[in-house]
Amino acid sequence: MINFPEFEEKTKIFFKDKNLLKQAFTHRSYINENIGTALSHNERLEFLGDAVLELIVTDFLYKKYPKYAEGELTAVRSALVNAIIISEVASKAGMNDYLLLSRGEAKDHGKARQYILANTYEAYIGALYLDQGYDVVAKFLSENLLPKTDEIVNKKLWRDAKSLVQEKAQEFIQTTPQYKVLSESGPDHDKHFTVGIFFGSELIAQGSGKSKQEGEVAAAQAALKIKNWLD
């Protein structure tokens, strides 16, 4: 039995509507495996939470970096709210221990779990917004996600990773990176792609995303770290 009061104690955020909290952690696979349950899956909350997250992050970046142009702000925001960062933050908050999943999904701790965690984080934000409003969500994000901004900006992780890795690869090893889809999973409405970046025939790194483009960017970022090409 999932102990949601324990999670509330950890976060010091206590929901008025406990069903909203449970719904935020309920994956579609759990509903499919437990026909007749009174719970709903978290996809509608995720949809709402994604929008709330984007607004709060945009407002924060707009005020924090008054000299950044629109394109730079967009790039920093994209780097901050990508699935890799959000899943890391969700995991650090302990969300992995409270997921309601099917038996099959519960056994998978790879890339699929990473995306479930990221989606759950967004669903939690949606639930928290409905339960307690904008200011409480903003405070929650200021304590766990927004502090990641300094690292992203200081290490210039917001730059166009694909252009940068191509520039560095041509400079140092005289080759142009190639990208290949290594695998894809999930239903049509929620596809996840794993993409590899190759220098010649050598697989350098992999990245995942909800689109091929997102996977390519994640792979490029991973390759930059592996090759130590981040200035």
Residues designated catalytic: 50, 122
- What dihedral do alpha carbons 89, 94, 99, 105 form, nearest 10°? 70
Residue 211, number of CB atoms within 10 A of its CB: 12
Residue 168: closest CA among 204, 206, 195, 201? 204
- Across-strand partners of 207? 195
Residue 199: closest CA among 228, 176, 229? 176
Which tokens in the block code for residue 47?
A: 């949809």
Question: How many Å apart are CA 212 and CA 147, to the nearest integer?
Answer: 28
